[in-house]
Amino acid sequence: MKILGINDSLVDFSGEGLAIGLFEDTLELTEDLKALDAKLSGLVSEIIKEADFKGKSGSSIATRVMGMGFKKLMIFGLGKSDKLKFEAIRKVAGNMAKAARREKCKTIGVSLPVVNSNPAGTVQAIAEGIELALYKDMRFKSEKDENTVVESASLIGFVGQEAAIEKANIICSGVFLARELVAAPANVIDSVTFADMAIELAKTYSLELKILEKADCEALNMGAFLGVARASDIPPKFIHMIYKPTGTPRKRVAIVGKGLTFDSGGLNLKVGASSIEMMKTDMGGAGATFGAAKAIAQLKPDVEVHFISAVTENMINGNAMRPGDILTASNGKTIEIMNTDAEGRLTLADSLVYADKLGVDAIVDLATLTGACVVALGNDIAGLWSPDDAFADQLMAAAESSGEKLWKMPFEESYFESMKSPIADMKNIGARTGGAITAAVFLKQYIKDTTWAHMDVAGPVWTDKDKDYNPTGATGYGVRTLVDWVLA
Ligand code: BES
Ligand code: MN
Ligand code: ZN
């Protein structure tokens, strides 16, 4: 897939398909579109009228044209002009790319307006929308896909925006890595193959990499992480990757991802409607973390970034951690296991203690942590918790500009009360209600004083239906927000 900027007028465009955006409020044809309409003897105005096309966002019409340099003309509604945001452009570009594929156009022209008087930002959003939408995972299919592949997209009026296109390419390469990791089943991506991926990534992009083996984790007293890992036949891997800029870093941060390659629930087995068959996605936080690493290593910001995940699976065997067991995390705190299915917070506890010791300016963790967060916010929105409002706002701003839906949740420390244990420092679950909040408050016990935020991404890591630029399956949620935040 190649994306480039061209300055041809619509009438002169040559390719298989031409996709044009039109605003809802005026439905007025631009000068360029008027010229095209004239050349096509009024066909453009005619189909707009006939199809009762109003320019609403999400609506579109397509027609075959004759005597032009292109065969298919597609017109897409942009909604109201004063409401146009980068995210709307990203979505419409994604839908244009999918329409081109449906209409069997190998090469397309895309005509969209500049948003916020920011041509570079606009081009980045268009390119992201196109690439993210056309992503197709064929790794596990034995037969080749015979469908048309869109080979190139020309962004009309955007000559000289190569840097923005390259930035989008890089960010999408990170999103694709996250999608591939999350969508790969647990018999393909396990702790060992996940670590192999990290070794490969570090080699390709010259990143520092430390992989702590089980014995190393034992030496660091990571009893919570190792408690979870006990019933797996596959050795746990604690992965620490580092991107260092040349020169003094402007800031130093750590990104921590929950890396459960599979979550059976353990002895509190996931039964009934608890979606055990979806639990290959329980490393979505780690997927986003290393997807972001791939992008950041190529974008080379003047920020030092640590990428961390304690990778294992939550399984069952004679050595499995039992309900009632007491584990000791690497900061010395003891945890009474009330439910072996609340395992993510255990692996994160030791990851956060480790990250905290790095002396970074800020830590953000991403985790498919609770079903409660999905109940609260649905499948499309992640939850954000932080004791530090200013830090939460930075992440909210990054999410907003990347178009990833994120909602600030209350960091209610008094809920720790329900996690008090008569025999240990805390239980690993709290009251039946507010489960996403208690999970966040649990994590805080493993942070000393570093600025920290937690994102529960259990909902948006996966989508059951193709929507705008997210094809059915793993979304790669988090990568774009993380990259945006690190670069800010
Ligand atoms: N990985 C799950 C959370 C999850 C649930 C992610 C559904 C995606 C979809 C997590 O480890 C878990 O099992 N959480 C429990 C916590 C409970 C035992 C306190 C949950 O949410 O039920
Ligand atoms: Mn679980
Ligand atoms: Zn889990």
- Of the three residues 129, 157, 185, the one that is the final residue of a domain is 157
Same domain? 311 vs 442: yes
Are 82 and 185 part of one and the same domain? no
The answer to whether 86 touches 122, Cβ cutoff 8 Å, is yes
pLDDT per residue over 389-448, tens digit each? Answer: 999 999 999 999 999 999 999 999 999 999 999 999 999 999 999 999 999 999 999 999
CB 383 within 8 A of CB 473: no
Ranges of residues in the chain whose predicted pLDDT is under 50:
none
Are residues 249 and 104 both part of a single domain? no
CA of 189 to the centre of ligand 2 (A): 18
Has residue 475 been placed in a domain? yes
CATH code assigned at 327:
3.40.630.10
How far is 62 from 95, CA to CA, in rounded Å?
Answer: 12
Among 126, 157, 188, the domain boundary falls at 157
Strand partners, 154: 4, 109
343 C-beta closer than 6 A to ligand 1 = yes
Residues 136 and 176 in one domain: no
Q: 303-314 and 259-263: which strand pairing? A: parallel
Q: Verify that 76 and 210 share a domain, yes or no.
A: no
Instruction: Supply φ then ψ for residue 343, to 5 degrees.
Output: -95, -25
Closest CA to 455 of 477, 474, 427: 477
Same domain assignment for residues 333 and 419: yes
Among 93, 94, 108, CA closest to 150: 108
- Tens of pLDDT along 344-401? 999 999 999 999 999 999 999 999 999 999 999 999 999 999 999 999 999 999 999 9
- Are 83 and 183 within one domain? no
What CATH number is associated with residue 48? 3.40.220.10
Q: From the CB of 435, is ligand 1 less than 6 Å away?
A: yes
Asked if residue 452 belongs to a domain, the reply is: yes
H helices of 17-118, where?
31-39, 43-50, 86-102
Tell whether ligand 1 has an atom less than 6 A from the beta carbon of residue 371: yes
**Which of 268, 313, 336, 341 has most ligand 1 atoms within 8 Å of CB, for mutation?**
341
CA 161 to centroid of ligand 1, rounded, Å = 44
Q: How many CB atoms lie within 10 A of CB 319?
A: 10
Residue 163 lies in a domain: no
In this structure, which ligand is nearest to the CA of 275? 1
Ligand 1 atom showing the smallest separation from residue 281 Cα? 8
Inside any domain, residue 232:
yes
How many domains are contained in the chain?
Answer: 2
Q: 73 with 203, same domain?
A: no
Same domain for 312 and 226 = yes
**pLDDT confidence of residue 334:** 99
Residue 166 lies in a domain: no
Q: What is the pLDDT of residue 27?
A: 78
- For ligand 1, whether the C-beta of 107 sits within 6 Å is no
Q: Which residue numbers are catalytic?
A: 270, 345
Cβ of residue 313 lying under 6 Å from some atom of ligand 1:
no
190 lines ligand 1 (CB under 6 A): no
The pLDDT assigned to 145 comes to 80
CA of 118 to the centre of ligand 2 (A): 44
Ligand 2 center from residue 87 Cα (angstroms): 33
- The verdict on residue 167 lying in a domain is no
State which H helix or E strand residue 344 sits in: helix 344-356
CA angle 309, 310, 311 (to 5 degrees): 100
Q: Tell me, what's the pLDDT at 139?
A: 97
> Is residue 292 one of the residues assigned to a domain?
yes
pLDDT of residue 147: 80
- Are 426 and 291 members of one domain? yes
What is residue 386's predicted lDDT score, i.e. its pLDDT? 98
162 within some domain: no
Q: Which residues of 444-472 are buried (b: 16+ CB within 10 A; e: fewer)?
A: bbbbeebbbbbbbbbbbbbbeeeebbbbe
Q: Whose CA is nearest to atom 17 of ligand 1?
A: 342
On the 0-12 / 13-18 / 19+ scale of CB atoms within 10 A, 51 is: middle
Is any ligand 1 atom within 6 A of the Cβ of residue 121? no
**Residue identifier of the C-alpha nearest atom 13 of ligand 1:** 341
Boundaries of domain holding 291: 172-487
**C-alpha–C-alpha distance, residues 171 and 113, integer Å:** 22
Cα 336 to Cα 324: distance, rounded to the nearest angstrom:
6
Residues 176 and 136 in one domain: no
Q: Say how far apart CA 284 and CA 479 lie, in whole Å.
A: 10
HEC string for 125-150: HHHHHHHHHHCCCCCCCCCCCCCCCC
Same domain, 342 and 289: yes
Surrounding residues of ion ligand 3, Cβ less than 5 A: 260, 263, 282, 344
CA of 310 to the centre of ligand 3 (A): 13
Q: Which of 133, 157, 181 is the last residue of a domain?
A: 157
Coil/strand/helix, residue 240: strand
